[in-house]
Amino acid sequence: MNDPISRAQFLRLTALSAFLFVVSSDAWASENEITRPMILNDPETPTGGNPNGDLTIVDFFDYNCPYCKLAAKSLEKIVKTDGNIRLVYRDWPILAETSIIGARLALAAKYQGQYLPVHHALMDIPGYGVSQEQMMEAVRNAGLDLAQLDTDIARHADDIAGLIKRNLNIAQAIGLQGTPGFLIGPYRVNEALNEQGFMRVVADARARQKTK
């Protein structure tokens, strides 16, 4: 398990101009045969926004990452106000043991159609070092059938573990250095964007798509 990055390391990684890359076709493939359709259209991966949107954003996050939580609020606002963005949620639990617990809870909630309420509840827990107890309280407050959640965690354990492993492999294959990370159309962004930052990259991504 990776050690949490320091604030200084994070700032070095996320200077505003430092991590905006066009992801070339070569970057989609790896020894595990990771492809663009696998990243964007994995049927097991939760999605939000407009399913027929003209632009897809893939969000790689950790429930112990405070910068992910800041970026998530801006991203969700942009997706809602824009109305034409499809959002793919890639749980990437790399910061702490409870990160894996949070990912499993959210992904198990998907089986009762409640991924997004649990995701948002976990993202709303402030700071780093979120405890299992805090996560369970957030899940309870999200209004799930907790008995069904326990059943789904056990019944779908292999599927959930497989999806988390794919997320880890994809993040590594496309060169993400830590959370948060995003694919915004053809661009890879490895920083906690604010609302204006998302608007700028979304506009750039759409413009680039039109030139192809």
pLDDT in tens, 40-56: 999 999 999 999 999 99
Sheet holding 47-49, edge to edge: 20-22, 187-189, 181-184, 55-61, 85-91, 47-49
Classify residue 177: in a domain, yes or no: yes
Query: Residue 70: inside a domain, yes or no?
Result: yes
**Taking 80 as the threshold, does the pLDDT of residue 6 lie above it?**
no
- Does residue 32 sit within a domain? yes
Span 186-211, pLDDT tens digits:
899 999 999 999 999 999 999 988 87
Decide: 55 and 25 in contact? Cβ < 8 Å. Answer: no
Task: Tell me the pLDDT band of 27, cut-offs 50, 70 and 90.
Answer: very low
pTM of the model: 0.83
The CATH number for 147's domain is 3.40.30.10
The pLDDT confidence band at residue 30, using thresholds 50, 70 and 90, is: very low
**pLDDT of amino acid 35:** 83
Domain holding 200, by residue range, is 19-210
The verdict on residue 12 lying in a domain is: no
Percent residues over pLDDT 90 in the chain: 75
Q: Give the model's confidence band at 212: pLDDT under 50 very low, under 70 low, under 90 confident, else very high.
A: low
Residue 93: cis peptide before it, omega within 30 degrees of 0: no
Side-chain-side CA neighbours of 172 within 13 Å: the count stands at 12
| Domains of the chain: total | 1
Name beta bridge partners: 60.
Answer: 90, 181
Average pLDDT value over all residues in the chain: 85
Which of these ranges, 9-13, 79-83, 168-172, 173-177, has the smallest mean pLDDT? 9-13
Which residues have CB under 8 Å from 146's CB, separation 6+?
A: 139, 140
Residue 88, domain member (yes or no): yes
In a domain, residue 8? The reply is no
Among 4-8, 57-61, 117-121, 194-198, which stretch is predicted with the lowest mean pLDDT? 4-8
* Residue 9 belongs to some domain of the structure: no
Nearest-5° Cα angle at 38, 37 to 41: 65
pLDDT at 32 (0 to 100): 52
Q: Report if residue 2 sits inside a domain.
A: no
